[in-house]
């Protein structure tokens, strides 16, 4: 079989029906399969999957879930030469999403993985739309297929390493033959970027597919944004040594800079005043993000009980 699609779920919500319908409706000149791996849903997700033709369901207890571990399980239960991985809230924008991922992967035999563009859901506001657009526009300034071509720069330039390591399995595909040698690491966060680091350092290539597009965004409340930023900073510091916010001075300065940038953008972009509620959220949102980065950077100095309480990801896994 050419391709498999794996979707991990837990209480996926109403949006998941649209996602599942869009995945099943993909058009391709080859056969593909769809597998949902559910870890204890109680909201009707399991019943929806069972009622959807062409989709297999595999259930695991909640305590067995792991970001890398569960995706590895899903890959092991499928047979596609390529494995597309998305999340339950990543909605393909059209019926060519899967084909675009696979076409990108087939550009070269050494491409281990491909990731695609994310678009913001309209309800997540103008700042999320801007952030995602600029983020993924950045990848179009580089070759679509990237390898570790400059070892000296890789050693000395953190930005270059971050570029090569970026990979989002909210919208991606893996080559099975490479996954068999280098499966996802069993970590609690950033399994996709750690996997990208491993395949790049092993001599494989990573590709970006700008036309393989999903709607995928989250506008967290202030507390959840703080906790999500804590998890991100903690993981990137622990796994890669990245410093997202190394000092109080930087935390305060970056908060002020991003607040001012958002205010300027709101008016320069001509955003309708009907959206002005987003503007009033700017100070708290930017401060919450930077505070999360700062504390996540210092997670080793915090009691483990505090880390577990602050971490959003740990909290979700306990539910």
User: What's the rounded mean pLDDT across residues 100-129?
Assistant: 97
- Spell out where 97-228 has E strands: 111-119, 145-146, 171-175, 205-215
Give me 144's structure tokens.
């679509």
* Residue 241 per-residue DSSP state: -
Instruction: Determine contact, residues 262/126, Cβ cutoff 8 Å.
Output: no
pLDDT tens digits along 125-164: 999 999 999 999 999 999 999 999 999 999 999 999 999 9
Q: To the nearest whole number, what is the mean pLDDT of the chain?
A: 94
User: What's the rounded mean pLDDT across residues 76-95?
Assistant: 98
State the pLDDT confidence band at 273, using cuts at 50, 70 and 90: very high
pLDDT at 318: 60
Asked which of 145-154, 201-210, 243-252 is least confident by mean pLDDT, the reply is 243-252
- 226: nearest Cα among 166, 296, 137: 296
DSSP per-residue codes, 193-216: HHHHHHHHHTT-EEEEEEEEEEE-
pLDDT at 189: 83
**What are the φ and ψ backbone dihedral angles of 157, each rounded to 5 degrees?**
-115, 105
Is the predicted pLDDT of residue 19 greater than 80, yes or no? Answer: yes
User: What's the rounded mean pLDDT across residues 168-185?
Assistant: 97
Instruction: Determine contact, residues 132/120, Cβ cutoff 8 Å.
Output: yes
Q: Which residues pair with 7 in a beta bridge?
A: 36
pLDDT at 242: 86
| 241: alpha, beta or left? (left if phi > 0; alpha if psi -120 to 50) | left
Is the predicted pLDDT of residue 120 greater than 90, yes or no? Answer: yes
Cα distances from 45 to residues 7, 52, 75, 87, 308, in angstroms, run 12, 11, 20, 13, 27
- Helix H or strand E segment including 301: none
């Amino acid at each position: 079989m050419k391709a498999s699609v794996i979707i991990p779920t837990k209480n996926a919500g109403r949006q998941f029906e649209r996602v599942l319908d869009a995945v099943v409706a993909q058009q391709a000149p080859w056969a593909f399969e769809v597998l949902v791996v559910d870890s204890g849903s109680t909201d009707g997700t399991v019943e929806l999957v069972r009622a959807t033709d062409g989709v297999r369901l595999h259930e695991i207890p909640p305590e067995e879930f792991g970001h890398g571990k569960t995706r590895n399980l899903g890959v092991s239960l499928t047979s596609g030469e390529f494995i597309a991985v998305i999340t339950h809230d990543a909605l393909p924008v059209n019926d060519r999403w899967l084909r675009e991922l696979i076409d990108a992967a087939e550009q070269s035999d050494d491409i281990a993985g491909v990731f695609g563009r994310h678009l913001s859901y309209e309800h997540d506001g103008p700042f999320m739309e801007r952030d995602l657009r600029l983020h993924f526009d950045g990848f179009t300034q580089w070759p679509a297929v990237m390898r570790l071509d400059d070892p000296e720069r890789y050693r000395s330039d953190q930005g270059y390493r971050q570029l090569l390591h970026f990979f989002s399995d909210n919208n991606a595909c893996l080559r099975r033959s490479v996954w068999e040698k280098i499966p996802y690491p069993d970590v609690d966060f950033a399994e996709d970027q750690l996997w990208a680091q491993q395949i790049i350092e092993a001599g494989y290539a990573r590709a970006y597919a700008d036309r393989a597009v999903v709607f995928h965004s989250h506008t967290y409340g202030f507390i959840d944004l703080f906790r999500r930023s804590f998890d991100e900073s903690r993981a990137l510091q622990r796994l890669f040594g990245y410093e997202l916010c190394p000092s109080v001075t930087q935390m305060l300065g970056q908060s002020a800079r991003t607040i001012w940038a958002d205010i300027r953008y709101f008016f320069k972009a001509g955003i309708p005043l009907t959206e002005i509620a987003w503007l009033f959220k700017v100070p708290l949102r930017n401060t919450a993000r930077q505070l999360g980065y700062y504390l996540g950077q210092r997670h080793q100095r915090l009691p483990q009980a505090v880390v577990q309480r602050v971490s959003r990801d740990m909290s979700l896994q306990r539910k």
